[in-house]
A and B are shown apart, each in its own frame.
Chain A
Amino acid sequence: NAGVTQTPKFRILKIGQSMTLQCTQDMNHNYMYWYRQDPGMGLKLIYYSVGAGITDKGEVPNGYNVSRSTTEDFPLRLELAAPSQTSVYFCASSRRQGATYEQYFGPGTRLTVT
């Protein structure tokens, strides 16, 4: 199993541009998450999904959108990128309700907005 994969690994965006960060997991996990990690600030939850077609906001959702059309994929959309969105983005998944503390993370996407 590849686990959780993310593309791209790195990206530089200009202010106002848009992009989609891709996340795929092959573990048949129902739960998926998007976090951002700023230097010295820990991981903050952006959005999460408990299954295909169901998504909900986390702690820092402003400026982002998500969709979940399949169990495997959970893309994160940035509209009108701003410098404050410069961060490392991690996608994660977990297998079942009641065990969502066991999260498996992808390798991350490093995004710079200039």
Chain B
Amino acid sequence: QKEVEQDPGPLSVPEGAIVSLNCTYSNSAFQYFMWYRQYSRKGPELLMYTYSSGNKEDGRFTAQVDKSSKYISLFIRDSQPSDSATYLCAGWGFGAGSYQLTFGKGTKLSVIP
């Protein structure tokens, strides 16, 4: 079983829609949970991170973690064409001798004007 599972999509939504992106994970040692955004042919950029369970909001973006069900979510309100990118979820915790990020495969999102 992969440590972080993520539906690769692609996901296509109309402008203004609410987008829900989801991941599941298996490693109970994860302490922080991240969402990275990656535009085509660019490097990933950190969008948000959450410590343990709970919600975190930043503008149109809300990250949610439920450690009891090992479920990570990212919600995008009022989606814009500029949100079109691949979204990578990741867990951070101790494994193989050090603290490391473990990434999901990414979900490709297209927001259609």
Residues of A within 8 A of B97 (CB): 56
Known: A43-B88, A90-B44. A100 touches B99 (CB 8 A): yes
Interface size class of B (residues with CB under 8 A): 20 to 34
| Interface of A: prevailing SS | loop
> Nearest Cβ in chain A — how far from B36, in angstroms?
8
> Does B106 contact A42, Cβ atoms closer than 8 Å?
yes
Q: Which stretch, A69-77, A79-87, A101-109, touches the partner chain B?
A: A101-109
Please report B residues at the A interface, Cβ cutoff 8 Å: 4, 6, 8, 32, 34, 41-46, 49, 88, 90, 92, 96-101, 103-106
> Does A107 contact B88, Cβ atoms closer than 8 Å?
no
> Nearest Cβ in chain A — how far from B6, in angstroms?
8
> Does A90 contact B43, Cβ atoms closer than 8 Å?
yes
Option from B8, B44, B96, B98 in Cβ contact (under 8 Å) with A43: B44
Please report A residues at the B interface, Cβ cutoff 8 Å: 4, 40-43, 45, 48, 50, 56, 58-59, 90, 92, 100-108
A-B pairs, 6 with minimum CB distance: A105-B43, A101-B92, A42-B105, A43-B103, A42-B103, A101-B32
| Interface of B: prevailing SS | strand
Option from B42, B88, B92, B105 in Cβ contact (under 8 Å) with A108: B42
Residues of B within 8 A of A58 (CB): 96, 100
Q: A90-B43, A101-B90, A105-B43 are in contact. List 11 more A-B contacts (CB 8 A).
A: A40-B105, A41-B105, A42-B104, A45-B100, A48-B98, A50-B98, A59-B96, A102-B46, A103-B101, A104-B46, A107-B43
Q: State A92–B4 Cα separation when bound (angstroms).
A: 20
Q: State A4–B46 Cα separation when bound (angstroms).
A: 14
Q: State A56–B106 Cα separation when bound (angstroms).
A: 26
